[in-house]
Structure 1
Amino acid sequence: MQKTRFDELVEFPCVFTFKVMGLAVPSLPDNVVAVVQQHAPGDYSPQVKPSSKGNYHSVSIQIQVHSQSHIETLYQALAAIDEVRYVL
């Protein structure tokens, strides 16, 4: 079976949605946007949804990416935020 490379399936540049799961602190969305601005400057309006118990927040943000390595860089940078637990 032949492996297909991710960058052969996705046409760049494109808009990619990142979902960041983290502790329910008021600064989480701002921290996510601040990190994104370092790697993909733009105007962002993340959507925030609280977990059922309210301990965590899910921050969804759409970012224009230019390559597979750009996506990987964003995943790593977002995961490095202290309050973040997962990046999907």
Structure 2
Amino acid sequence: MKTKLNELLEFPCSFTYKIMGEAKPELVDEVVGVVQKHAPGDYTPTIKPSSKGNYHSISITINATHIDQVETLYKELGDIDIVRMVL
């Protein structure tokens, strides 16, 4: 049984993205910049380094207003060159 994301969410709602990318200083700024374009707000992402320090995991929560916003952010966050995965 396939369930679509929009069937599981009731908008508006809090929605957390987890972004894994290379441990470069610009990673957080690029992630927040993309999020600001689609969900303006004041964000304080949580950053956790990998065990070897090569990657960072960033968690950022937005107030999602519709499914198109959620899906667009998945795509645009994934399009950042130094991002390896978006959950």
Structure 2's unaligned 5+ residue stretches are none
**TM superposition shift of 1:4:** 4.5
Partner SS, residue 25 of structure 1: coil
- Distance in 1, matches of 2:52 and 2:83, equals 17
The match for 1:24 is 23
**TM superposition shift of 1:70:** 1.2
**TM superposition shift of 1:68:** 1.6
- Report the AA paired with residue 54 of structure 2: N
Structure 1's unaligned 5+ residue stretches are none
Partner SS, residue 6 of structure 2: helix
The match for 2:67 is 68
Question: Aligned runs of 1:1-88 on 2, under 5 Å?
Answer: 4-88=3-87
TM-score, L = length of structure 2: 0.92
**What is the percent sequence identity of the aligned residues?**
62
**TM superposition shift of 1:24:** 0.2
Partner SS, residue 19 of structure 1: strand
Alpha carbons of structure 1 residues 4 and 57: separation in structure 2 relative to 1, 3 Å: closer
TM-score, L = length of structure 1: 0.91
- Distance in 1, matches of 2:19 and 2:78, equals 8
- Name the Cα RMSD after superposition: 1.3
Compare CA radii of gyration and give the structure with the larger one: 1
C-alpha offsets along residues 21-59 of structure 1, whole Å, 9 cap, x if unaligned?
000001111110001001110000000000000000001
**TM superposition shift of 1:6:** 2.9
